[in-house]
Amino acid sequence: MGLDMYLYAEKYIPFREWDEDQKNNEKFDKLIELADLNELIDKKTGSISLYVKLEIGYWRKANAIHKYFVDKCASGKDECQEIYVDREELVKLKDICGQLILTKDVEQAKELLPPQSGFFFGGTEIDALYFNDVEYTYDLLNKILEKIPEDDYYYEFIYRASW
């Protein structure tokens, strides 16, 4: 048991391309075929779509990261629910992690990214394990933000934890 944390990227894929021709979206057709869902959709309506959801990040007992997502993106409500995360919030968290990696300052860490205690949440010390989580988070968010274009509005980010 313990705090398991997941970050997902979810991409909206419409049935039709949003251009003048309104032609069928080849990606949509391929994914529906791969998922063996052809018989479940009525392509005549044209208003169908699908979402592809991919786990792109995983942490274990990184309670400071958990606290950040809950406080900044869920108004402090922590009920193992899915939490939608704005891209801007991922940028802010990456920047905080980058700053902490450079300084390794415990007082700054307490202020910018404080640990949180909880049932099976792991330790609250700001130590090597804490900074490992910060480095992992920085690297992960840097990769995500580089690979998914800022102006691609078909993507959403979702955080979820369980314990």
Domain extent listing, the chain? 4-162
pLDDT digits (tens, 9 = 90+) for 58-115: 999 999 999 999 999 999 999 999 999 999 999 999 999 999 999 999 999 999 999 9
Q: Are 33 and 25 in contact (CB under 8 A)?
A: no
DSSP result, 75-108: TT--SS--EEE-HHHHHHHHHHHHHHHHH--HHH
Question: pTM of the entire structure?
Answer: 0.89
Q: How far apart are CA 49 and CA 58, in angstroms?
A: 27
Read off the pLDDT of each residue in 8-20 and give the average, rounded to a whole number: 82
> Would you say residue 42 has pLDDT above 90?
no
Read off the pLDDT of each residue in 41-45 and give the average, rounded to a whole number: 74
Q: How far apart are CA 158 and CA 51, in angstroms?
A: 13
Read off the pLDDT of each residue in 12-38 and give the average, rounded to a whole number: 81
**Banded model confidence at residue 46, pLDDT cuts 50, 70, 90:** low
Cα angle: 135, vertex 132, 159; to 5 degrees:
70
**Banded model confidence at residue 41, pLDDT cuts 50, 70, 90:** confident
> Would you say residue 14 has pLDDT above 90?
no
Q: How far apart are CA 116 and CA 66, in angstroms?
A: 8
Q: What is the pLDDT of residue 28?
A: 86
